[in-house]
Amino acid sequence: MSLNLLFDTSAYSNLRKGNKELESLLADVSQIYMPVVVIAELEYGFLNGSRYDANHVELERFLSQSFVQTIAIESVELTHVFAELKLVCKKAGKVLSEHDLWIAALAKTTGYELVTCNQDFAVLDTILLSKLHIF
């Protein structure tokens, strides 16, 4: 079965690092979707580092792959899902970053399978319509 995966920042970072479980998931991948907030977070991290140019070029190369697509936050429905997920977190007494809530909202509205190494997302596991891969 070909997978449509939605990456968060930790997925990109850990794939680069060489996470074997994450790597094995790519054997069945059809498309990798990179939310714009993930790209923004990575760029912010790179700007704080000492190898901005190299990291930026590497990210650009990653994004230029035919099976990698950026995905924007641009619909009213998405804002509704964002609010819904935020309330779920509040009621559960769990806190996610605002960017992570947008990423989760994208996963729910598109049906793409969220890939992350961030345990914070576990609170939304039963809420998302698609599978959640936490490594």
- # of chain residues touching another protein (CB under 8 A): 54
Nearest approach in angstroms of CB 125 to another protein is: 18
Alpha helices in the chain (DSSP H): 9-17, 20-25, 36-47, 52-63, 76-92, 98-110
Supply the minimum distance, in Å, between the C-beta of residue 126 and another protein: 20
Query: Which residues ranging from 45 to 84 are in contact with another protein (CB under 8 A)?
Result: 45-51, 55, 58, 61-62, 65-67, 71-72, 74-75, 77-78
Token pair 């899902």 is at which residue? 81
| Calpha distance 47→56 (Å, rounded) | 9
Nearer to another protein by Cβ, of 29 and 134: the residue is 29
Distances (CA, A) of 92 to 26, 39, 56, 113, 124: 32, 28, 37, 22, 10
Instruction: Give the nearest distance from C-beta 133 to another protein in angstroms.
Output: 15
Q: With respect to another protein, which residue has the nearer C-beta, 101 or 132?
A: 101
Nearer to another protein, 13 or 134 (CB): 13
Residue 135 CB, nearest distance to another protein (Å)? 14
Q: Supply the DSSP symbol for 126.
A: T
What SS3 class is residue 134? strand
Binding mask 81-120 toward another protein (x if CB under 8 A, else -) reads -----x--xx----xxxxxx--------xxx--------x
Is the distance from CB of 29 to CB of 131 less than 8 angstroms? Answer: no
